[in-house]
Structure 1
Amino acid sequence: MLPFISSLIRKKEFQDFAGVCRGIYRVMDGVNQPQLLKENLIDESKKQQQMNGIDGQQEKVVQQIQEQNQSIKQGATKLDDNNKDQNEYKRQDIIEQDKQRNVQQSQIPSAPSINKQFTENKVPQTAIGRVYEFGALGVNLATNAMKTMVTQGNVSFRQALVSEENASLLAKGLCKMRGAPLKLAQALSIQEDEVIPKHIRQAFEQARQNADIMPQKQLEKMLKQEFGNQWMNKFKEFDIKPFAAASIGQVHEAITLEGKRVAVKIQYPGVKEAIDSDLNNLKMLMEYTKLFPKTMFLDKLIANTRKELHEECDYTIEAAKQINYRNLFGNQIEFAIPEVITELSTSRILTAEYLYGDTIDFAAEFYPQHLRNEIGRRVMSLTLQELFKFRTMQTDPNPSNFYFDRNSNKLILLDFGAVHEYTKQFIDNYIGVIYAATIQDRKECLSKSVDLGFLTGEESIRMKEAHVDSIICVGEPFRYQGEFDFGEQQMTKKIYELMPVMLKYRMRPPPPEIYSLHRKLSGAYLMNMRLKTKVNCRDIFMNLYEQYIKLQ
C-alpha cells in the first residue's frame, strides 16, 4: 500500500497542487448529473438589490432613511444630526459593510451557458466487437513503439511504448470504448508522476473529460428499450443533444409532461454486460506495457473498480442512494440534492430534478474571497459529516458534481452512483487516526494505522516514520488554529519528499474502504486548493469528534 497520505495524494491539471490530496486509489465514477448553467442566474429584482447593496432587513432600514430624506425635501420633517441615535450609525456601518460585499457579488459575471462539443462514436456492444477494439489498440501501440525505436535509436521498447503519440492514441481508444476501460482510466489519471509517466497520466485525464457520445440511432434504441417505442410521449420536450458525457452514460435535458425541468442520464449500451471482460482485457494491456510498478497493486485497483462498476450500472441502486441522501441532508439549508423522478427512471435511465449553478472552476475565477471560503467550508463540513455522523459517503469528488446556486445560496450535490457505507469499527479507528494527527501523537497514528490495515506492523523503521510523517502532514488543516489557508499550503512539498520512500517500501495495499474514502478526501482538499479558501477545519472536525465520542 502507499501509506495513509499517499492514498490521499492527488494531482489533476493544477501543477502546484501536485501530490497533496491525490489518492492513487481514486476511481472517478459515473457521469455527472446535469448542470446547464444559466446566463441569467439572478432575477432582475435580485440584481438590483445586490447592486444597491441591500439585502433582507437592511433593505427596510435603507428605505426608511430614503423616506426620511424625501420628507426633508418636502419640508414635512427635518432631521437634526445632533439627535441621531448612535444605533443608527451602527446600522449604517453594517449596511456599508454588506454593501461592499454585495457590490463584489454583483460584479460576478453571468456563468457561460454549456455548449460543449462532443465526438459522436458508436459504442462497441458485442463481446467480439469490444475484444477487437482492445486488440486493435494493442497492435497500434506496438506498431508506433517499433517506429519510435527505429527513428530514435537508443530507446527501449517500454520507453517507446509510452511515448506521447501512444498516450494520445490510448486516450482516443478509451474514449471510444467507454465503460470499464474509461472508468479505470479515471482512476489512473490522478496518479503521481513517480507512478505513471506524466504524459500518460495526462492522456488518462483527457479521456476522463472527453468521453464520446452515442449516435442518435443508438440513443433512441436505448430509450425505446427502457421506455417503449412511444418514449417521446413521456416528455413534453427532450433535447437529443447531451450536455454531459462520461464513462457509463450521457445526460440530456428534458421537460416532463407536468412542465418540470429534468436531467435524464442514459447508460451506454453494452457497458454493463462487458464490465468483467473489459477489465480483464485492460489488465492484460496494462501488464503488457509494464506501465505500473508492483507497489501500485493494480490487481486490487481493478478488483475495486469491478465491484463499483457493477453497482453503478444499476441506476435503481443509485436512485435509492440519492433518495437516502435527500433524507440525510434534507434539513440542512446549506445543501440541495435533486429529487429523483422515479416514474421516469429504470435500471439504465435515471431522471432527476434539474438543478443548476456556478461550477467550482467559475467560482475559483470570479467569486470574492468570502464566497469561496463559504463553499470550501461546506465541502469540508459535508465530507466530515458523511464520515463521522452518517458513516455514508458519496465518494466521487469530481468538481462537476458540485455547483453553487447564488440565488438560493445552496451548494448543489450531484451523482450518487458511488455512495459507500462504512462500519462503526472502521470509522472508530479512522477518526482515531485523524485525531492523533491533530495532536501529533505519532505512536497512536502508527497503532491506528495497523488497526485499519494500512500497515502490517512489520515495515522498516524508515517506512513507518515516513508513513506517520505523511499522516501528520495531511492532518495539518485539522490541527491549525484558526482559518487554514489552502491557497498557501505547503503540504505538497512535504509529501513529495516522502513519496519515494513510501512507493519503495510499502508492503500491502490499503483496506478496501480506503479506495473510496480517500478518493473523496482528496477531492475535498483539491477543491479548497483550487478555490484558494481559508477555512477553520479544526473547528469543523473537533465539533464532530466531540459529538462522536459522546455517542460511544
Structure 2
Amino acid sequence: MAEQDKPDNAEAHAKADADGSTMDRIKTGAFERNVALTRMGVGAGAKIAGHTVRNFFRRGESKDEANRNFYRAQAKELADELGRLKGSVMKAGQMLSLYGQYFLPEEAVEVLATLQDNTPAVSWSFVEPQLIDALGERTIAKLDIQRKPIAAASLGQAHLATLKATGEQVVVKIQYPGVANAIDTDIRTLSRLISATRLAPKALDLTDVFNELRDMLVRECDYVQEREFTETFYDRLADNPRFIVPKVYPEFCAQRVLTTRYEPGYSVSSKEVQALSQSRRNALAQSFAELFVTEFFEWNLVQTDPHFGNYRVRIDPDGENDQIVTLDFGATRPFDKSFVESYGRIVRGSLQADRQEVARGVLDIGLMDASTPQSFLEGFGDLTELIVEPFRKPFDPMVPDRLYTPGGAYRFGDTDLPARVGQTAALKMMSKHFKIPPQEIIFLHRRIGGVLVTLKTLRAELRLHALLKPYLDLN
C-alpha cells in the first residue's frame, strides 16, 4: 500500500493498540453499566451540594466563573465515564451534544462534543464471538482477518481482512456485543444522570429528546439498513468519477456485521491534502458542496454524520482527478419531500430578503407556531440571512468585502461566519418562543456545519449561488 493511501485513523489506532490502550472488554450488562453510572450520579449529587454551599458566599463574576468551572467539571466526568463504557450510552452522549446547544451550559456542550468516534479499541477475543455468531465459522474461514483493528468507535470497530479466494482487501465492521440490547437501559440511565448532574434546567422536560436519541441509536445499530444505504449511494454515485463508495460484500454481512471494500485515502486536514494547489482544493470543495445539495434537494436522503473520518481524499498522482471516498452510512436519514420544500422556502426567503417566505417555511417545519411574536420571527430572519452568506451572489453587499476574491468567489478560509452566527443567535434567539428543533433540523444542520467546516479546512474559494438555483428558483 502506497504511503499516501494509509488512512490517518488507521495509523492512530494502530499506535493506540501498540501503546497498550486497547480495552479487554466493555461493560455490556445492564446491571454493571447501571452501577457505573449510578455511582457517578451519587457522586455528582454530593458535589452539587458542596458547590451550592460554596457559591452562597460568592458574588458577581466570582459566582459566574465558579458555575462555569463546575459545569465543565461535571461534563468532563460524565464524558470520561461514557467513553469508558462505549456502546450506545457513549453514542447517545455524542448526539446529546448536538441537542445540548439548545439547553445545556456552553461548557458542557464543548466537553460532550469531544466524545468523538476515535476511541480505544477492544480486544479481538471480545468481538470475535460476535463475528462467529453472525456469520458462522465456515464463512469466516474465507477471510484472513487482522486482529488489530484499523478503527474503533462507540458502537463497534473495523478490521482489515483479505478475501482468500481473490486477494481483495475488505473492511469488516463488527458491532460490540450487547450494544443494541443495552439501548433502552442506557437512555434511561443517561436521562437520570443529566438530571443528577444538574446540567439541564430542572423545569425542562427532555422526554422527547431522549426518545429521539433512542430511535436514532436503534437505526445506527442496524447494519442491515446501513448496508442498504451504502448500496444505494454506491449505485447513485457509480457513474460519477469524483466519488468512491465502498462495494458491499453481502456474504459477509449480517445484522451486526458489515463488510465493504477497503477504500483508503487521506483526511481532508492531512498535510498531503493541504499541500494541493488552490484549484485542486477548490475542485474537492465544490464536490463536497454539490454532494450535499444533491443528497438533500434531489435524493431527499442525507448522510448526516460529517466526521472527517467518513470522508477521505484519494489524491491523483497525475494531478487531475482527485476523488472523495465516502464511508459509513449508518447515520443516513431520509427526509420527507414536504420538509425539503419547507426548508427550501427558508433558504430562498433568506437569500431574497423575503421574510414572509422565511416565516412560511419556519411554521411549516414546526420550529415556531402561529402564536410566535412577529419580533421573534424577524430575529430568526436576521439569523438565517446571515447563515446563507456563502451562497449569496458574488459581491453581495450583505457580505463583508474582504470575504470575496477579485473574481467574486467566497473565501471560506478567511470567514468568521460561525462566530458571527453565534453572536447573532445569542442576541436574537434567547426567547421562550424558541423550541428545541426537531431531529430533522438537528441532523441536517449537523451535516451542513460539517460541509462548511470542510470547505474552511480546504481554504476553498467558491461561487456557490448557482449551485442552489435549480432547486430554489432563484434569480
Q: Please give the TM-score of this superposition, normalised by the length of structure 2.
A: 0.84
Q: Are 1:241 and 2:148 matched, yes or no? A: yes
Q: Within 5 Å, give how 1:326-405 maps onto structure 2.
A: 326-362=234-270, 365-405=274-314
Question: Partner letter of residue 130 of structure 1?
Answer: R
* 1:277/1:146 CA distance change after superposition, 3 Å: same
Measured in 2, the distance between the counterparts of 1:334 and 1:160 equals: 46
Q: Which residue of 2 aligns with 1:483?
A: 409
Q: Are 1:422 and 2:335 matched, yes or no? A: yes
Report the alpha carbon displacement of residue 194 of structure 1 after superposing the two structures with TM: 8.2
Question: Partner letter of residue 396 of structure 1?
Answer: D
Q: Is the 8 A contact 1:486 1:532 kept in 2?
A: yes
Query: Aligned with 1:283: secondary structure?
Result: helix
Q: Are 1:505 and 2:432 matched, yes or no? A: yes
Report the alpha carbon displacement of residue 412 of structure 1 after superposing the two structures with TM: 0.7
Report the alpha carbon displacement of residue 524 of structure 1 after superposing the two structures with TM: 1.0
What is the number of equivalent residue pairs in this alignment?
444
Measured in 2, the distance between the counterparts of 1:316 and 1:336 equals: 21
| Counterpart selection for 2:195 from 281, 287, 290 | 287
Query: Aligned with 1:504: secondary structure?
Result: coil
* 1:198/1:412 CA distance change after superposition, 3 Å: same
Q: Which residue of 1 aligns with 2:462?
A: 535
Measured in 2, the distance between the counterparts of 1:285 and 1:543 equals: 47
Report the alpha carbon displacement of residue 384 of structure 1 after superposing the two structures with TM: 0.5
Report the alpha carbon displacement of residue 401 of structure 1 after superposing the two structures with TM: 0.7
Structure 1 unpaired stretches of 5+: 1-36, 43-109
Q: Are 1:438 and 2:438 matched, yes or no? A: no
Structure 2 unpaired stretches of 5+: 395-407
* 1:344/1:204 CA distance change after superposition, 3 Å: same
Measured in 1, the distance between the counterparts of 2:347 and 2:458 equals: 24
Q: Are 1:135 and 2:38 matched, yes or no? A: yes
Question: Partner letter of residue 3 of structure 2?
Answer: E
Q: Are 1:464 and 2:377 matched, yes or no? A: yes
Question: Partner letter of residue 495 of structure 1?
Answer: V
Measured in 2, the distance between the counterparts of 1:479 and 1:210 equals: 36
Measured in 2, the distance between the counterparts of 1:212 and 1:506 equals: 42
Q: Is the 8 A contact 1:175 1:210 kept in 2?
A: no
Cα deviation digits, residues 226-276 of structure 1 (max 9, x gap): 23346651213x111112112211111111122111111110111101111
Q: Is the 8 A contact 2:314 2:325 kept in 1?
A: yes
Query: Aligned with 2:270: secondary structure?
Result: helix
Report the alpha carbon displacement of residue 504 of structure 1 after superposing the two structures with TM: 2.8
Query: Aligned with 1:206: secondary structure?
Result: coil
Question: Partner letter of residue 134 of structure 1?
Answer: L
* 1:518/1:113 CA distance change after superposition, 3 Å: closer
Over the aligned positions, Cα root-mean-square deviation in angstroms equals: 3.1
Q: Which has the higher contact order (CA 8 A, sep 6+)?
A: 1
Q: Is the 8 A contact 1:145 1:160 kept in 2?
A: no
Report the alpha carbon displacement of residue 281 of structure 1 after superposing the two structures with TM: 1.0
Measured in 2, the distance between the counterparts of 1:490 and 1:443 equals: 28
Q: Are 1:306 and 2:214 matched, yes or no? A: yes
Q: Is the 8 A contact 1:130 1:177 kept in 2?
A: yes
Aligned-pair identity in percent equals 25
Larger Rg: 1
* 1:403/1:166 CA distance change after superposition, 3 Å: same
Q: Please give the TM-score of this superposition, normalised by the length of structure 1.
A: 0.73
Report the alpha carbon displacement of residue 167 of structure 1 after superposing the two structures with TM: 3.6
Question: Partner letter of residue 235 of structure 1?
Answer: L
Q: Are 1:255 and 2:150 matched, yes or no? A: no
